[in-house]
Every structure is written in C-alpha cells, then in structure tokens.
Amino acid sequence: MTARAASPPIRRPRLAQTAIGIGLAMAIVAGWLGLHFYAMFAFDLTWSSLPLALAMAALQCWLSVGLFIVSHDAMHGSLVPGGGRLNGAVGGVLLFLYAGFAWKRMRAAHFDHHRAPGSERDPDFDAKNPTSFWRWYTTFLTRYFGWRSALFVSLVVMLYWLVLAVPVEKIVLLYGMPAIASSLQLFYFGTYRPHRHESAGHAGFADRHNARSERFGTLASLASCFHFGYHHEHHRAPDVPWWALPGQRQPQPETRNRSE
C-alpha cells in the first residue's frame, strides 16, 4: 500500500485560541466547582436520591478529567499561546485542585513522556508490563500519586467530615469515587490504549511516537477523555489544544508516513 504523507497540523490565531481555550476552561472549572459544592453542602443523599447521586458522580468524574486535560494544555502552552507564566498559574491551580499535584514535577514528567514515548525513559510507560492494564495502572499510580496527593486528599476529607460535618457517605460517593474513577479514565483512554503493545514482543505502532489514535466519533471522543484519544495527533502536534484535536485526525496507521 502506498504511504500518504500526513497533512500539517491546523493552526489558529493566538487570540482566537486563547479565547476559546479560556472560555472552555472556565466552563469546566465552574461546572466542577458548582457540582462539587452542591454535592457536599446542598444535596440530600438518600436511598431515593441515590440514582441522581450516581449520575452526579459520573459527571463529576468527567469534569475531573477535564480539569487535568486543561492543565495538560497549559503544560504545552496551548491554553494561552505565548502566555508563559499565565499557563503555569492556571495549570498549577487546576493540578492542585485535581489531586494536590505539583505543577513543576508533573510538567517535567510529561515532557519526559514526549521525549521518549513508550520507552523505559517514559514515566507514563511500564516497560515490564506493556500489555497489562492493572499492573501498568499500579505502576502509574505509584509514580504520580505520592505523599503530597495523599496529604491533600486527607486534609480535604478531614475538613469536610470533622469540621464541616459533611456525611462520610457523601464524601466517599461524590468526592472520593469520582476522583478515583477519573484517574482510571485518564489512564485507560489517555495512556494505556494509545501506548499499549498489541502483544508481547509486538508493539504495533506506526512511527517513532509509539502512539495510536481511537476511531471514535467526535462526541464519543469528547465523552471518553476530552479528545485525548486522538493521541497520535497529539504527539505529532503537542501545541494543539484538546478541543482542536478532532480537526487534526490523520489517516489510519497503515497509511501514515512512518518517518513522521
């Protein structure tokens, strides 16, 4: 089959990209904060309201993924092109809100991932278990969720439970579970599926980026991981923001230029 050269990434004016990115980021953050505080301090959790609570938990999980994806754009400077410290300020706040993560450490680790994706030097990759979801996820957790995150979450839980008298079942269902589920969602759609090996000894990647993209439609891609499943496109053009990734979709791996 004749290889077809990939088209160059689509670029947008900085002002337009900033306006769209900040607008979407504000909507995601406002949605997360509004739902969180409503769930903790206004919502009445009973057996009859449990179905609504589960729906709220699922939405909060998705919005939590959004917090991380916006901070990821900030790492690459695509939230506010040319914004410098503004990207760092926004990204740092969102990472801390997500799980008490440290901005500089997470940003450095993510750049290491882009320098050597799918290799032993990639902090997101488990070279010993490139086909095993749970073993790889365990490695992923131990590398990123350290004492800082544990302390942050513990302080939030203690504040809500012991000081503000929020029922512990609400904290578990509407704060703890969405946080844990969002880490699974981010890992599965944003790390494991794009970078997993097809089988032992056979990676099955098209080029040096060691990444593949989903074949999801736009809505399914948004619901799964804010378009982060278009992962090969992200590695080809990491300065393209999450909301613009559908416009970067490339031919299937067998028709891509392996030198790309």
pTM: 0.89
- pLDDT, one tens digit per residue, over 235-260 is 999 999 999 999 988 665 543 434 34
| 126 Cβ contact list (under 8 Å, min separation 6) | 132, 135, 136, 139, 140
Tell whether 218 is covered by a domain. yes
User: Cβ–Cβ contacts within 10 Å for residue 161, how many?
Assistant: 15
The whole-number average pLDDT for the span 128-145 is 94
C-alpha 81/C-alpha 29 separation (Å) is 20
In a domain, 4, yes or no: no
Q: How many structural domains does the chain have?
A: 1
How many angstroms separate the Cα of 226 from the Cα of each of 20, 24, 121, 135, 217?
15, 11, 26, 25, 12
- Residue 105 within any structural domain of the chain: yes
pLDDT in tens, 154-182: 999 999 999 999 999 999 999 999 999 99
Is 257 within a domain?
no
Q: For 10-19, which contacts have Cβ atoms below 8 Å and span 24 or more sequence positions?
A: 10/240, 10/244, 10/247, 10/248, 12/244, 14/81, 14/82, 17/78, 17/81, 17/241, 17/244, 18/79, 18/80, 18/81, 18/83
Task: With respect to residue 3, please indicate whether it lies within any of the assigned structural domains.
Answer: no
In a domain, 181, yes or no: yes
Tell me the mean pLDDT in the region 108-119. Answer: 95
In the predicted structure, residue 1 carries a pLDDT above the cut 50: no
* Within a domain: 39: yes
Looking at the chain, how many residues does it have? Answer: 260
| 202 phi/psi in degrees, rounded to 5 | -135, 105
Q: Is residue 260 part of a domain?
A: no
Tell me the residue range of the domain where 136 lies: 14-198+205-245
